Structure 1
């Protein structure tokens, strides 16, 4: 499974250097040079980790962090020249996972990225939620020891929900992440796939948030 990272940095030299080192480490990196472009990427692509500068044209890093946390639990690393305590506290209050100040050693940045990915289970070969086990590389899902016969879209929806467990994902976010930003999918398409997915799951763990979307919750024993 290819690990995807979104890097938002308006300094082209820094962006190019960081991207080159992350690529060499085996990660696939998309780069945005302003906050507005990055915001549009949230709904078109799914990332295992994002790196935000704070001082950006358009939406700044703190605004991006606030918007990103509405749709994803993926790790966020703030990478900025602002080293004051107030900026760091604001980032962590906004649910950033780490904060690195410029200038920095690229090897240290790589280690921070690796640590965040490891803690979020992005580097593991399998993802677990309750009695569910998902194998992203093989697009297979198991409930206890029994394989669930899911279609590709059903697997992708389930994987997306597991990655964001406890968070309500709006219909439009599921459509953009599973079918693509420019797809013709709609809430009806999502509802049909959720209905089929529920029929294949031994327990009711997909909850409907009326008028908004869906959330994954473990059944209480």
Structure 2
């Protein structure tokens, strides 16, 4: 299957040019023009590489801030920054919070070469996570218990994946709702509790810990 790439670029002509060049190379490209669109793509399926503009509608250094938020949220796909900011401190920051940095204007062959090089390194994100006899196969989007596949709904899987990829990290109910159901969700207030209950019923009580009044986490 072709690698999935997320491109976050608010310059429409440049975004179209880059997306087309990547698609012609056989990559599956998901193009976002702002952070909200990018988060929407990111929570649908895992990506093999993220290409982020630094200067976005959200701010001069919004791309760097987004990269930090992604790492904190457990996303570990390689990040390539595209930016007109070419000062030494900007290049160093790009290499600190991401894997590579390409200054604008750039030649498309160089961009493609860097994309291929990052993909050859492989995704840092775990491909398999185990908690006791529960195994999460990230690429296959499959969950096993005692070696037997367990049927989960899409949202059950997403909640489980969020927790297992961040063992020991506490997520509030509000944060889970925002990450899985999207910003501004106004549905049932007990939705997270329902999904946690379903996961425990299917996978065992120990798969999700409750910290009363604060939220949920997977055991570290």
Calculate the TM-score normalised by the size of structure 2: 0.71
Unaligned runs of 5+ in 1: 122-126
Find the aligned partners of 2:187 and 2:73 in 1 and give their Cα distance: 18
Pairwise mapping of residues 35-184 of structure 1 onto structure 2 (< 5 A)? 37-38=34-35, 40-41=36-37, 43-45=39-41, 46=43, 48=47, 49-59=49-59, 60=61, 61-75=63-77, 76-93=79-96, 95-102=97-104, 103-104=106-107, 105-115=110-120, 118-120=123-125, 127-130=127-130, 131-135=133-137, 140-181=142-183, 183-184=185-186
Change (3 A) 1:182 1:132: same
Change (3 A) 1:92 1:171: farther
Find the aligned partners of 2:115 and 2:10 in 1 and give their Cα distance: 19
Q: Could you report, residue by residue, the CA deviation over 1:155-183 in whole angstroms, capped at 9, with x for unpaired residues?
A: 22212333444544443443244334465
Q: Could you report, residue by residue, the CA deviation over 1:42-100 in whole angstroms, capped at 9, with x for unpaired residues?
A: 5544262432222334323223334444434243322223344311322344x323323
Do the aligned partners of 1:7 and 1:29 also contact (CA within 8 Å) in 2?
A: yes
Find the aligned partners of 2:18 and 2:206 in 1 and give their Cα distance: 43
Do the aligned partners of 1:207 and 1:215 also contact (CA within 8 Å) in 2?
A: yes
Change (3 A) 1:163 1:18: farther
- Where 1:100 maps in the other structure, the secondary structure is strand
Aligned to 2:193: 191
Unaligned runs of 5+ in 2: none
Aligned to 1:22: 22
Higher RCO structure, 1 or 2 (CA under 8 Å, sep 6+)? 1
Measured on the aligned residues, the alpha-carbon RMSD in Å equals 3.4
Find the aligned partners of 1:9 and 1:175 in 2 and give their Cα distance: 27
- Alpha-carbon distance, 1:193 to partner: 0.8
- Where 1:73 maps in the other structure, the secondary structure is coil
Change (3 A) 1:116 1:132: farther
- Where 1:118 maps in the other structure, the secondary structure is coil
Pairwise mapping of residues 199-214 of structure 1 onto structure 2 (< 5 A)? 199-202=201-204, 204-214=206-216
Find the aligned partners of 2:139 and 2:54 in 1 and give their Cα distance: 34
- Total equivalences in the alignment: 207
Find the aligned partners of 2:217 and 2:117 in 1 and give their Cα distance: 29
Find the aligned partners of 1:17 and 1:106 in 2 and give their Cα distance: 12
